[in-house]
Amino acid sequence: MSEPPPERFAPSAPLVQRLGVPISSVLLGSLVTIVPVIAHYPVLPPFGLLMLLGWRLLRPELFPIWAAAPFGLFDDLVSGQPLGSAILLWTISFFAIELFDQRLVWRDFWQDWLIAAGATAFCLIAGRLIASPIGAHVDTMLIVQILVSVMLFPLVARLVAWPDRKRGRA
């Protein structure tokens, strides 16, 4: 796919558009939990986290490292996890990705996928340990949820890349 060359002297897109698109896409991802299905098993992937990771890995300069916390706060409010779990876990994931950015500078999509898989698995497993008692029989479903989320990441990366082209440049 050949992208048209950017117009050098075009006026920059308004800030609302440049930042509003990524922010609202992550919030919409978190809001997937409001679909009217009463689920028996926790298999719905954490779309908010996946979108956030997609943006973070595609455009590292877009969000400051502390942006994970407010997104996590919103996710906590709609996900049913105890408040504070996503704030903490998503920020830790962002720190880890920052570390990878410094060590693993030249990356391909495969490495990004691996990083996203690690972050997703970490957030889901830690979230399960925080939210549910150890004896709860949710581990099989948790593994299914992690697998589904990891497999979905390329799709989410595509979903992120499309609005990224449309939102305009600074």
Partner 1 sequence: MAPPRTRRPGFSRRAQYGLFFGYVVAALCALIGLVLLIVSTANPPAFAALRAGVAEATAPISGAVASVDRGIAAVPQAIGHYFGVMHENAVLRAELARQHAVLTRARTLSYDNSRLKHLLALRDRSTGTITVARLISSSASSTRRFALLNAGWRQGVREGQPVSGPDGVIGRVLETGPDTARVLLLSDPESVVPVKRTRDGVPGIVNGRGDNLLEVHPVSLADPAFKVGDVLVTSGTGGLYPPGIPVARIVSRSRDGALATSFEQPDTLDYALVEQAFFRAPPPPPAP
Footprint on this chain of partner 1 (rule: CB under 8 A) = 31-47, 59-61, 64-66, 68-69, 72, 74, 77-89, 91-92, 94-95, 101, 105-109, 127-128, 130-133, 135-138, 140-142, 145
Q: Shortest approach of partner 1 to residue 13 CB, angstroms?
A: 17
**Distance between CA atoms of residues 99 and 134, nearest Å:** 31
**Closer residue to partner 1 in complex, CB, 60/163:** 60
Q: Shortest approach of partner 1 to residue 133 CB, angstroms?
A: 5
Reference 64, options 52, 75, 76; nearest CA is: 52
HEC assignment per residue over 44-68: CCCHHHHHHHHHHHHCCCCCCHHHH
**Closer residue to partner 1 in complex, CB, 55/94:** 94
What distance separates the 2 farthest-apart alpha carbons in the chain? 62
Q: Shortest approach of partner 1 to residue 51 CB, angstroms?
A: 13
